[in-house]
Amino acid sequence: MSEILVYSDIDGTAFELVSAAKEFAQELGATVSVALLGEGAGGKAEEYFSYGADRAYVSEHPALSDFYVGTFAEGLRQIAESGDVEFVLLGSSKRGKELAGRLAQKLNAGAITDANAVRVRDGNLEAGRYSYGGNTVASQVIATAKKVISVMPKTFELGAKEANQGEVVNVDLDLADPPVKVVERREKAGDQVNLEEAEVLICVGRGVQAKEDLAMIEELAGQLGAEIGCTKTPASDWEWFSEERMVGLSGKKCKPSLYISIGISGQIQHTVGIVDSKIIVTVNKDDKAPIFNITDYGIVGDYANVVPALNEKLKSV
Amino acid sequence: MDVVVCMKQIPDLQQIRIKERRPVLESVPLVWGDLDKNAMEEAVKVKEKLGDVKITVVAMGSDKLQQGILEPLAMGADEAVLLTDPAFAGSDSMGTAKVLAKAIEKIGSYDLIILAEGSTDNYSGIVASALAELLNLPEITYVRELEVEDGKVKAVRNMEESFEVIQADLPALVTVAQEINEPRLPKFMAIRKAGAKPRHEWGPDDIGLSSDEVGQNALRVETVSNLAPEQDRKNVMLGGDLAEQIDALVDALIKEGVLGR
């Protein structure tokens, strides 16, 4: 019976993938395995089983104590080739993405990264991902015997935990020490915002030209319980915001219930990060701004008037 | 020291129009991806610092590269390898990595290979990692600061939760993040002089591959469809004066159940 092997350096993402893989496995007649790699990884097996994994390959090999892509790819290769693994599902974190290409090469496999949809089709998995900078969505299938797909976090809902027995397989991996050395880790300063989790998200674009106007937007965010994000310019050019708050192709992908864009024209590089919002509200003085095409409720007007008026109104709601 | 930079031309993303959900690419000019320019800029900075460095730019693409390659050459590359044979057309990421690996092996000496952390159009990040595997090189991705000295590389990687400072011996492959530098705009004279720099054009035979092993014949990933996403937004433009617009907006958001959660 073929296996779907799940691995992510971020357990939360891996749990989502296991939850989805369990459903794919039923349709494909496959089983779900997870790779638990690194110091103390074996202790997580029970939790993975509770999300539906049938099997956990565990290695706490010392070469896996720091994540190096080549070493982890080699570990996953050995696991994938010892079992009957047809699909490898990785989380599309930065480490997951770099793993995908390296592992696929080791397995003579095709790879798809940043999938934001995966479904069963004709006994294979079909993945959707953005193409042409987000202008289109490509649906792709992998034609090789083994297949590597890295999936964006939050693509799948976390399944319910259930009592479930799984098999722990302690694997004896043959690994060399990594050729690169991590000499220091500098924690990123302060701004530990998690935009992906935000229920309400307000994003600021280059139409907001005075930094002091952020005060009214922060007031609005406070009233709505919103997080504030931004497009590329206010973060990387103006440095008003940390990169953690950049939303879009090279930033965060968010799925809030309510998204409000302020002074954002709607270039595809930003909008791919918010297209999955439930309701999109736009405030922009240019009625031809492309973002109005993907807007539910739009106000053509100067944010400097609209936002304070909205702030006043919300005080009475 | 020998530095190889791999770059790709992409359609100008701002100029792609959608017609019946299909991207219209005809008459859309090809440009270098922004991140690819960051990769070249970093190579030029290494050369400016160390002096005795030869930079070779390797690019796979259409015959439009003949003109396009002048830009990286003018930025500071010393030599170019163009992989414009029609047999390469339609390669997927793994196929691209294979061709680049063979071309780099033919170049023969490489201490440092630099690519973008992802292409600016698809941002899949597969090519660099597959290339590192094919050439059996250490790989340092998402680099925002790079120092090269005495056969060693020290790099700061931009990871989700931290900046990782990495050391490795050369040869190594590095991918760069957008914040690593500001790519220079080549001056007119530099572009004119770039035309005189050496260029090589290699087809499959030149790099030890047959036509069956490249391009469309070597696809590992098949694209079933590639369409603009359907969207079913309400597209309600709120009219009236400001007070009416605000009232209507708040009413609508309450009805949608997205306020006061």
Q: What is the CATH number of the domain that holds B81?
A: 3.40.50.620
User: A283 pairs with which residues across the strands?
Assistant: A262, A299
Q: Do A69 and B139 touch (CB under 8 A)?
A: yes
Decide if A104 touches B, using CB distance below 8 A.
yes
Q: How far apart are CA A88 and CA B123, in angstroms?
A: 20
Q: Closest-CA residue in chain B for A266?
A: B14
Q: Are residues B118 and B173 in the same domain?
A: yes
- pLDDT at position B16 is 86
How many domains does the structure of chain B reveal?
Answer: 2
Contact across the interface for A301 and B245, Cβ inside 8 Å = yes
Please say whether the beta carbons of B242 and A306 come within 8 A. Answer: yes
Q: Which residues in chain A touch residue B125, judged by CB atoms under 8 angstroms apart?
A: 97-98, 100-101, 113
Is B223 within a domain?
no
Are both B65 and B177 inside the same structural domain? yes
pLDDT higher than 90, residue B230: no
Residue A121: pLDDT band with limits 50, 70, 90: very high
Report the residue of A76, A279, A284, A291 to disrupt the B interface, i.e. the one with the largest count of B CBs within 10 Å: A279
- Yes or no, beta carbons of A98 and B139 under 8 Å apart: yes
Please indicate, yes or no, whether residues B22 and B101 belong to a single structural domain of this protein. yes
Q: Pairing state of beta strands B172-176 and B236-237?
A: unpaired
Same domain, residue pair B165 and B257: no
- Assigned domain for B25 exists: yes
Is residue B236 located within the same domain as residue B142? no
Q: Please tell me whether residues B158 and B244 are part of one structural domain.
A: no
Asked if the structure places residue B222 within a domain, the reply is no
Residue B46, domain member (yes or no): yes
Q: What is the pTM of this model?
A: 0.90
Note the pLDDT tens digit of each residue in A34-71: 999 999 999 999 999 999 999 999 999 999 999 999 99
Q: Which of B102, B241, B258, B261 to mutate to test the interface with A (most CBs of A within 10 A)?
A: B258
Asked if B150 and B261 sit in the same domain, the reply is no
What pLDDT sits at residue A191? 65
| B71 and B198 together in one domain | yes
Residues B94-101, mean pLDDT to the nearest whole number: 98
The dihedral sign for the CA sequence A209, A213, A214, A217: negative
For residue B198, is it within any domain? Answer: yes
List, for residues A215-272, the tens digit of each pLDDT value.
999 999 999 999 999 998 898 778 899 888 999 877 888 999 999 999 999 887 798 8
B93-107 vs B126-134: helix axis angle to the nearest 10?
Answer: 40
Domain range for residue B247? Answer: 231-261
Residues across chain A: 317
In a domain, B225, yes or no: no
Q: Are residues B80 and B155 in the same domain?
A: yes
Q: Do B29 and B120 lie in a common domain? A: yes
Q: Is A211 on the interface with B (CB under 8 A)?
A: no
Determine, yes or no, domain membership for B193. Answer: yes
The pLDDT, as a whole number, for residue A311 is: 96
Same domain? For B117 and B246 the reply is no
> Is position B89 within any domain?
yes
pLDDT digits (tens, 9 = 90+) for A66-118: 999 999 999 999 999 998 999 999 999 999 999 999 999 999 999 999 999 99
Q: Is the pLDDT of residue B246 over 70?
A: yes
Q: With 60 as the cut, is the pLDDT of residue A287 above it? A: yes
d(CA A236, CA A233): 6
* B113 plus B136 within the same structural domain: yes
Query: Is residue A268 packed enough to be buried (19+ CB in 10 Å), middle (13-18) or exposed (0-12)?
Result: buried
What pLDDT shows up at residue A10? 94
In Å, how far is A164's CA from the nearest CA of chain B?
32
List CB contacts (< 8 A) between B129 and chain A. 69, 98-102, 105
